[in-house]
Amino acid sequence: MKEIKISFSGTLKIEEFNERGEIDINSLVQKINKTIIIPALEESLRQKVEMDTSANMLAFGAVNQKPIENAVTLEDFGGEACFRYFENLNFNGRLISSSQAIFQNSDLGKSFCGLFNHLNPETPINDLFYPGIKGSRYAIIKKVISPSEIEVDFDFNHSNGPGYIYFDNSLAWEKALKHLQAKQNSVNTLFLGKNKTFVIPEYESIEITSDTFVIGENCNLLIGKEDYFRWSDKKSFKQGECLMVVGSQKVKVGLRVNICPPFRRVPDANPIMTPIFRGQQNPQPYQIILMDCNTNALKMGHAMENICGWGFGFHYDNETLIVGKNINHSGGSFMDFKSPYGRSLTAVFENVKTDFEPEEKYGNTSLKVKGYILNNQFHITSEQTAFQIFTNEFGIGSNLSTILHIGRFTYQIDGPSAVIDGKTIQLRLTPAKGNYLVRSKNSIYSKNQELHAGDILIHQGNRYKVIAKDRSPSMEWASFLNGNDMYKAHALVATLDKELPIEEGWLEFEVEPLSRNLSEQPAFLIYKSNRHYPTTLQTQFGDQQILSSDLIGHLSYNHRQIRLWAKDFEHRGFYRQTAGGKGEEFYCLKGCSGFGNEFNPSVPVRDDVPMPEEASALIGFMNEKIKTIFLE
């Protein structure tokens, strides 16, 4: 091989390539090592090279690509393909070390993520960290001490675990996508190259107004914050509702890249991951294709992982065409296709594997903890956090509930305001003397106080014992007494051991409550969905009716009135279907499995129809574009 000539005048410059326009990276690095010039490598060179320096490390990189017509790269906008994952790192405050020589001088100034390795404070400041868990935290590498040790600008408080070094491409991604939408711009393709990984911790939803293509060969986009605390009202990070918004313009969108989620999202009762796309209602016609996409491409097999991949998102009908080919997806929300306008939505899938089973792997309706009750507050003493029971509908007056189950008792948890911090939950007050609403001869309703089986109520000298309690019926639970502010929602009904003097109205009671303070013991925090939880004197801890619930989420949730053609589609997860749409209904499944649950078309499901022509044409168009861009 012809040697590369290097001159040095403040920066290193490559002046000559070999006959084929190639650089021998190994040779180059060896020569630089001998002259100890690595710290002076020019930034443009460092953006092109990531070396695999350890058998216990995965690295992705590629050599420089020559310019391509009608395409831009993330490097054009200051990006860099840099991602190196390590197991068994040692954490000592700001010092991160390894038993192997894995760090490079070029790591200086890069970003570092310590996975699942910092015990976070219990009280959130904003969305900077997930409170009360041993979570993932971010830092900047301030010093490369040696090939086996670096110094970062964050004090980790746990001793060992995995982590990764990366370059933050958030700004480069945003600039590149917006550049493709510019009206004065004829470029429509973001070319990622070959065998590269770009890390994009922050992102916003970008409206697609022009034909847009993101194309790579064995490339990965690692998108989103690790252990992101999405329940914070104060946002400091950009975590969009989707990557791309489509439907405002007539466009084609094509993606050929592994779109990978963070290594973990903290398990909760709402395991719905951000989708790639979001369609607008009453849309313009558009076509999208996702191909050769494995959301598990960067999965390292760590026990703490909870992978929920990027799905297609919500789409609406107006000659809408959605194509997926050669896809591997984990988690829920793969497709949500609606047809309220009767204007045709066609979905075509070939060689697709999805996995949302068992659902408990991706989210939990019940969280077993340890804790105690003192002065109407529940204190968690185990590692879990109260924020893991949050859902999008938590405490907003809907037909859902969230409860604490400890001993034989159940307690209603009244939404986000009841969660004082990650370890402390405010419970309803101990019942006291006052007026209670009578709804039948042997039951009363209570909203602000928490009655329990065993409590005694006294009216005019007559003693009434609470023998059971439950949430009120669904319609009353969601909107109690047609909007009466005092009892608007979430009222409990207590059943008494004998009849009251009236059937409906208000009665004043004195109350002899059971002791509410309970010593430390196992307990469950439970998202109950719309289910009841009858609690009696005989209720046992861990009662299955108390624990039973329905996890928020699904793998697919479509209107029946869509056109679905699929071949070799493994659908492992709940298929939800409604008949609320309009228009044509067509189904053809070839070699598919798992289409059950509510999947129930009103027309015969065929297996003898070729792929719709418009989908074949879109796949052909994308393949030709890929072929052209890699030949240039």
Q: How do residues 133-163 score in pLDDT, each as one tens digit?
A: 899 999 999 999 999 999 999 999 998 999 9
In a domain, 503, yes or no: yes
Q: Kindly indicate the confidence band of residue 272, based on its pLDDT and cuts at 50, 70 and 90.
A: confident
Q: What mean pLDDT is predicted for residues 239-267?
A: 95
Q: What mean pLDDT is predicted for residues 253-282?
A: 90
Pair 244, 230 in one domain:
yes
Query: Does 107 score more than 70 pLDDT?
Result: yes
Q: Which domain holds residue 390?
A: 366-547
Query: Does 485 score more than 60 pLDDT?
Result: no
Pair 314, 396 in one domain:
no
CB 376 within 8 Å of CB 430: yes
Query: Does 45 score more than 80 pLDDT?
Result: no
Residue 19 pLDDT? 38
Pair 87, 124 in one domain:
yes
Q: Kindly indicate the confidence band of residue 252, based on its pLDDT and cuts at 50, 70 and 90.
A: very high
CA distances from 394 to 367, 423, 489 (A): 15, 18, 13
Question: How far is 554 from 538, CA to CA, in rounded Å?
Answer: 35
Q: How do residues 298-310 score in pLDDT, each as one tens digit?
A: 987 665 566 677 9
Residue 6 pLDDT? 45
Q: How do residues 512-533 score in pLDDT, each as one tens digit?
A: 999 999 999 999 999 998 899 9
**Token code pair at residue 25:** 């990276």
Pair 279, 199 in one domain:
yes
Residue 550 pLDDT? 84
Pair 311, 261 in one domain:
yes
Residue 265 pLDDT? 84
Pair 565, 541 in one domain:
no
Q: How many whole angstroms from its chain centre is CA 628?
A: 35
Q: What mean pLDDT is predicted for residues 382-405?
A: 84
Pair 194, 290 in one domain:
yes
φ/ψ of 517, rounded to 5, equals: -75, 130
Q: What mean pLDDT is predicted for residues 47-61?
A: 35
Query: Does 118 score more than 90 pLDDT?
Result: yes
Give me the percent of the chain exceeding a pLDDT of 90. 69
* The residue type at 442: N
Question: How far is 342 from 363, CA to CA, in rounded Å?
Answer: 35
Pair 318, 269 in one domain:
yes
Q: What mean pLDDT is predicted for residues 95-117?
A: 97
Pair 275, 410 in one domain:
no
Q: What mean pLDDT is predicted for residues 40-45?
A: 34
Residue 170 pLDDT? 98
Q: How do residues 493-513 score in pLDDT, each as one tens digit?
A: 999 999 999 999 999 999 999
Q: What mean pLDDT is predicted for residues 556-579?
A: 97
Q: What average pLDDT is seen over the chain?
A: 87
Query: Which among 134, 166, 198 is the end of a domain?
Result: 166
CB 348 within 8 Å of CB 322: yes
Kind and range of the H or E run holding 34: helix 25-35
State the alpha helices, DSSP H only, in 424-547.
474-478, 544-547
Pair 207, 138 in one domain:
no
**Token code pair at residue 219:** 């490339």
Q: What mean pLDDT is predicted for residues 615-631?
A: 94
Residue 606 pLDDT? 98
Q: Kindly indicate the confidence band of residue 92, based on its pLDDT and cuts at 50, 70 and 90.
A: very high
Q: Which of 15-24, 50-59, 67-76, 554-563 has the highest mean pLDDT?
A: 554-563
Question: How far is 423 from 381, CA to CA, in rounded Å?
Answer: 7
CB 337 within 8 Å of CB 554: no
Q: How many domains does the chain have?
A: 3
What's the start-to-end Cα distance of the chain, in Å? 24
Residue 41 pLDDT? 33
Residue 28 pLDDT? 42
Q: How do residues 306-364 score in pLDDT, each as one tens digit?
A: 667 799 999 999 999 999 999 999 888 999 999 999 999 999 999 999 999 888 788 78
In a domain, 105, yes or no: yes
Query: Which among 135, 166, 197 is the end of a domain?
Result: 166
Indicate if the alpha-carbon torsion angle 438, 440, 444, 446 is positive or negative: negative
Pair 391, 480 in one domain:
yes
Q: What mean pLDDT is predicted for residues 564-592?
A: 96
Q: What mean pLDDT is predicted for residues 391-400?
A: 74
Would you report the helix, strand and coil content of the chain in percent, each value rounded to 5?
A: 15, 40, 50
Q: What mean pLDDT is predicted for residues 439-462?
A: 93
Q: What mean pLDDT is predicted for residues 33-61?
A: 34
Q: What is the pTM of this model?
A: 0.84
Query: Does 268 score more than 70 pLDDT?
Result: yes
Pair 480, 333 in one domain:
no
Q: Is 332 exposed, middle or buried (0-12, 13-18, 19+ CB in 10 A)?
A: buried
Q: What mean pLDDT is predicted for residues 176-186?
A: 93
Question: How far is 283 from 276, CA to CA, in rounded Å?
Answer: 17
In a domain, 56, yes or no: no
CB 4 within 8 Å of CB 29: no
Residue 604 pLDDT? 97
In a domain, 489, yes or no: yes
Query: Which among 512, 529, 547 is the end of a domain?
Result: 547
Q: How do residues 58-89 score in pLDDT, each as one tens digit?
A: 333 333 455 567 899 999 999 999 999 999 99
Residue 125 pLDDT? 87
Residue 223 pLDDT? 96
In a domain, 21, yes or no: no
Residue 23 pLDDT? 46
Residue 476 pLDDT? 67
Burial 309-326 (b: 16+ CB within 10 A, else e): bbbbbbbbbbebbbbbbb
In a domain, 66, yes or no: no
